[in-house]
Chain A
Amino acid sequence: MNTIKCDIVSAEKSIFSGEATMIFATGEMGELGIAPRHAPLLTKLAPGQVRLQQVDGEELNFYVSGGLLEIQPHLVTVLADTAERAEDLDEAAALRAKEEAERALADRAGEQDIAEVQAQLAMAQAQLQALAKLRKKLRR
């Protein structure tokens, strides 16, 4: 029986590698059924399942939250995203990163404030101690 090699990898780890007789995936432009000797194709994957039919007829299911699918006549590569990707989600993450940088800069001012307050506190404590000593002396 004809088979096609299939690799499913994410940036964090290799998820699957092996032979399959048929592969089904949800591309961004529609469902794909991939048999051995499929024409070379490159597409984005939509969030959904990637199904594999193995040689022994058993089916394997993988969920991907997006990614890329590359098809060569004897090799299918799924570059799966583990994170949800969308333009506006990425934008939000970018904004967060910028804010973090700004907060770090603002922190510098914060530290100065803390140092100032600490100095004032030390001074107040010293004054209190001096007062206490004075009071003791007076009582005698």
Chain B
Amino acid sequence: MSGAREIVSKIRSVKNTRKVTKALEMVSASKIKKSQELMASSRPYARMIRQVISHLSEANPEYKHPFTVTRDEIKCVAYIVISTDRGLCGGLNTNLFRRILADMQTQQQAGVEIKVVTIGRKASQFFRNLSGIQVVAHTSGIGEKPQIADLIGVMKTVFDGYRSGEIDRLQLAYNDFINTMVQQALVAPLLPLPDAEDSDELLQYWDYIYEPEARELLDDVLTRYIESLVYQAVLENLASEHAARMVAMKSASDNASNLIDDLNLAYNKARQAAITQEISEIVGGAAAV
């Protein structure tokens, strides 16, 4: 029966693992919903600020803010990489990093310097070990309810770099939440901003009253706009994290269940074999008497 006893302890340990993965799966399932709500509630701000920007560019089309000017020579590209803090979420981070590395490689071949700003612990762990890539700012531990305040520091670093000409382009990399089963790793350009489509027929020329100056205000509006874009990406990534974790944990629980079935079969066979052997021994003993 020694083989059977070993199998029993194995079954018990797999059952414990399944309990953990099941619990994680259910926790993630409930968190997806919350992070989706956060995503929805952050949309009005982005919509409003886009409106303000389009009004602004309509009102004074001749002024070009540095954020909207494409530079002729690209010497340095910065990436804002948004990853999760914790693991156990399948290939979510790995897929994203692979996508980023492919993008970086094309840049490096063109002789462009690369800087990285990491949000989330996994990105920091990954990029600090890569040579030829400089991590200039990092933040993590944003948690389940990200706030703009968590991002101000890293964004300020990036904006300063961009304004001073150290950074010529800015890319944003994150996992886009499409639905619970599908998350897409994205590397999207963030700065310079694409030109707003010019509406040819301006009905009438009008301008705002600016308090204080127009340029300063435009700078403020654009800064907040970029920040809100990054904030939304953080939320997208958060929803993706929970979705990916739920799927990963579901398949882990299923695997555990299969394993338990197999082990149960093996246990029953071992038990049966032991009983058969015992009976045949008894029979053999009785015949000898």
**Given the contacts A77-B48, A97-B139, A13 and B55 also touching, CB distance less than 8 Å:** no
A113 at the interface (CB under 8 A from B): no
Q: Which residues of B contact A53 (CB under 8 A)?
A: none
Query: Which residues of B21-69 are within 8 A (CB) of A?
Result: 38, 41-42, 44-45, 48-49, 51-52, 55-56, 59
* Contact in complex: B138, A104 (CB < 8 Å): yes
Contact of A44 among B129, B139, B206, B212 (CB under 8 A): B212
Q: Is the interface of A mostly helix, strand, loop or mixed?
A: mixed
B42, B139, B211 interface centre (most CB from chain A within 10 Å): B211
Q: Which residue of chain B has its CB nearest to the CB of A101?
A: B138
B140 at the interface (CB under 8 A from A): yes
B276 at the interface (CB under 8 A from A): no
Query: Which residues of B214-237 are within 8 A (CB) of A?
Result: 214, 217, 220-221, 224, 227-228, 231
Contact of A39 among B48, B128, B209 (CB under 8 A): B209
* Contact in complex: B156, A70 (CB < 8 Å): no
How distant is the Cα of A97 from the Cα of B118 in the complex, in angstroms?
Answer: 9
Q: Which residues of A contact B208 (CB under 8 A)?
A: 40-42, 70
* Contact in complex: B148, A93 (CB < 8 Å): no
* Contact in complex: B41, A14 (CB < 8 Å): yes
Interface size on B, residues (CB 8 A): 48
Interface size on A, residues (CB 8 A): 42
Interface mask (B127-142 → A, CB under 8 Å = 1, otherwise 0): 0110000011111100
A10 at the interface (CB under 8 A from B): yes
A133 at the interface (CB under 8 A from B): no
* Contact in complex: A42, B42 (CB < 8 Å): no
B124 at the interface (CB under 8 A from A): yes
How distant is the Cα of A85 from the Cα of B227 in the complex, in angstroms?
Answer: 13
* Contact in complex: A43, B211 (CB < 8 Å): yes
Q: Which residues of A contact B51 (CB under 8 A)?
A: 77
A115 at the interface (CB under 8 A from B): no
How distant is the Cα of A36 from the Cα of B160 in the complex, in angstroms?
Answer: 39
Q: Which residues of B contact A39 (CB under 8 A)?
A: 209
A83 at the interface (CB under 8 A from B): yes
Q: Which residue of chain A has its CB nearest to the CB of B121?
A: A104
* Residues of A in contact with B (beta carbons under 8 Å apart): 7, 9-14, 17, 27-29, 39-44, 68, 70, 72, 77, 79, 81-83, 85, 89-98, 100-101, 104-105, 107-108
- Return 16 A-B CB contacts under 8 Å, by A number: A11-B45, A14-B41, A14-B45, A28-B212, A40-B55, A40-B207, A41-B208, A44-B212, A68-B224, A79-B48, A83-B149, A85-B152, A90-B152, A93-B152, A97-B138, A101-B136
Closest 5 A/B residue pairs (Cβ): A93-B153, A97-B153, A83-B149, A94-B156, A97-B137
* Residues of B in contact with A (beta carbons under 8 Å apart): 38, 41-42, 44-45, 48-49, 51-52, 55-56, 59, 117-118, 124-125, 128-129, 135-140, 147-149, 152-154, 156-157, 160, 206-212, 214, 217, 220-221, 224, 227-228, 231
